[in-house]
Structure 1
């Protein structure tokens, strides 16, 4: 589910001036789309998207000044009628007294920024799309291996954190341990990060909680990364047939995205960190168009065909 975003989040993120309506800073911003109410200022209200943040730039404010005092008052009051989240003024422009008066009455925050209107809209949209993206939390470990975001999953105690520690020692970077917050910021793009409380921390049974950044330096951690593949650790099952060639590619669904899945059986003597490292490198090679398993299969088929031809 997308997280709730409030007007106060915009104020903090972009250091906006709050001109009035402080009581409404807890208002929810339900959508990432913004709106410049030019048509409404001109008197057309049939399709006014009142759920959006209302942006007033130089064009809208200049046109307001061409209206009579009565028209200006009526248009602004109607814009504020349906519970808009807030009004934001760009370019540090002066605000008509009617906006301050009506917004104060209805407890609608009026904000002001020094940014030009186009920049303000772009930054607001990026921020809101990120905050309002569908999200979930998964039990696992997220590691950046050669710039490939690898989500390590598996049952509790199977060795996810210990594997992550070994990967960090080999020069890779930790994003999250135990709980991974995942957001779908665009189609087929998942971004993972750690909850603020456990950022940069790793829990090793028998040792306790360690701070990876303190022990290994700032280069051993990242705040977030795109999730490219999932490595599932599971206890080795003698009667289960595991993929030995890698031709059949499994997928697992996270939110609305199918992510490549590699199942790694765990048993004594297997170096999980090295296996995950190789899996990440192999994933990158596949993305570059080289599939070792497919090439081996093709060569095997060609060899068998040649032998059959020789027998004939």
Structure 2
């Protein structure tokens, strides 16, 4: 299970820590945000204490109507052992009871000038990115005609050289050698490069080149959704390779199945052009046109007509 800390949230958004600084290393393990209106009203039967608790104008306005005893009781319940932190929106004044018990229980209280809805949206998006399942794959990720193509295969088979040719043809490099992939809640796979090797491409015999420096900012991008996997392998004369495109392979990355195409490599094959055509054909399939299926249907119809004429 991935996790982050309250300190990371504070540093990312530059929010003010009002009290409870001792608890900045509290762990955040879920991306959901809780607006504890019912809890402040006294209903704690299903209190999601492991979430960040977000207080806006509505919650604090109701809180002000309570007497001192009720306030203290509700705040004690609100600041549980599992509660990562409490965030107050609109830059509102933090109640004294909240400051007092946050210090005692070491639960940070943060304030943000953002409106409640906007704050909740930004915080959820940030946490989903931080807590998303991730993996690292050996390969090259390239944006080809808007399709995120992950090129994989054994070492020295020509992945980086293919990526270089694609960049020269106007496409964009995302990552070379190591591709960090995270899975969003919609089961989309987002690939990016580790910061250390961002925009770099390794070509054997030439060395490491900086694609952005050589080809400009338009030749790179920081991240891209992985939509298609192309596996390069040495041509095996004994192996059958699909010639129609009816067979659809899948590669499971984390919990998501991605279409995969296996391309045999041998001298004389222009891999960059093949990758381009594969990306364009993939787009056509998503638009509802599959050339292999159309051809197969025409072939079947022709055979049936020939049999009828016999």
Question: Is TM more than 0.5 here?
Answer: yes
After superposition, what is the alpha-carbon deviation per residue over 1:133-180, rounded to whole angstroms, capped at 9, x for unaligned? 222111111000000000000011111111111111110001111111
For 1:236-275, list aligned pairs within 5 A. Answer: 236-275=235-274
Q: CA deviation at 1:100?
A: 1.1
Question: Within 1, Cα distance between the matches of 2:308 and 2:69?
Answer: 94
Conserved 8 A contact 1:20-1:103: yes
**Cα deviation, residue 79, structure 1:** 1.4
Structure 2 distance, partners of 1:187, 1:75, is 35
Q: Match for residue 129 of structure 1?
A: 128
Q: CA deviation at 1:12?
A: 2.4
Deviates more, 1:279-288 or 1:21-30: 21-30
Aligned to 1:145: 144
Q: How many residues align?
A: 310
Question: What is residue 85 of structure 1 aligned with on the other side?
Answer: 84
Q: CA, structure 1 residues 119+271, in 2 after alignment: closer, same or farther (shift >3 Å)?
A: same
The residue correspondences of 1:22-33 to structure 2 (distance < 5 A) are 22-33=21-32
- The alignment status of 1:117 with 2:120, answered yes or no, reads no
> Segments of 4+ in structure 1 off by > 4 A?
none
Counterpart position of 1:40: 39
Q: Which stretch of structure 1 is more off in the superposition, 247-256 or 77-86?
A: 77-86
Q: 1:99: which partner in 2?
A: 98
Classify 1:302/1:39 alpha carbon distance in 2 versus 1 (closer, same or farther; 3 Å). closer
Distance in 1 between residues matched to 2:70 and 2:297, nearest whole Å: 77
Aligned to 2:70: 71
* Partners of 2:2 and 2:29 within 8 A in 1: no
| Distance across 2 between alignment mates of 1:109 and 1:188 | 32
Residue 57 (structure 1) aligned with residue 64 (structure 2): no
Distance 1:188 1:37 in 2: 29
Once the two structures are superposed, the pairs formed by residues 8-23 of structure 1 within 5 Å of their partners are 8-23=7-22
RMSD: 1.4
9-18 vs 248-257, greater mean Cα deviation:
9-18
Question: Which has the higher mean CA deviation after the structures are superposed, 127-136 or 271-280?
Answer: 127-136
Q: Is the 8 A contact 1:187 1:257 kept in 2?
A: no
Shift of 1:66: 1.6
| Residues 188 and 258 in structure 1, CA contact (< 8 A), matched pair in contact too | no
TM-score (norm 1): 0.95
Cα separation, 2, equivalents of 1:188 and 1:112? 32
Residue equivalent to 1:288: 287
Mapped partners of 1:144, 1:20: distance in 2: 46
**How far, CA to CA, are the matches of 1:258 and 1:188 in structure 2?**
9
2:308 counterpart SS class: helix
Residue segments in structure 1 that go unaligned for 5+ positions in a row: none
| Structure-1 separation of matches of 2:43 and 2:307 | 79
Is the 1:138–1:182 contact (alpha carbons within 8 Å) kept by the matching residues of 2? yes
Q: Is the counterpart of residue 160 in structure 1 residue 152 in structure 2?
A: no
- Alpha-carbon displacement from aligned partner over 1:22-65 (angstroms, at most 9, x marks no partner): 22222111111111222222222222111000111111112222
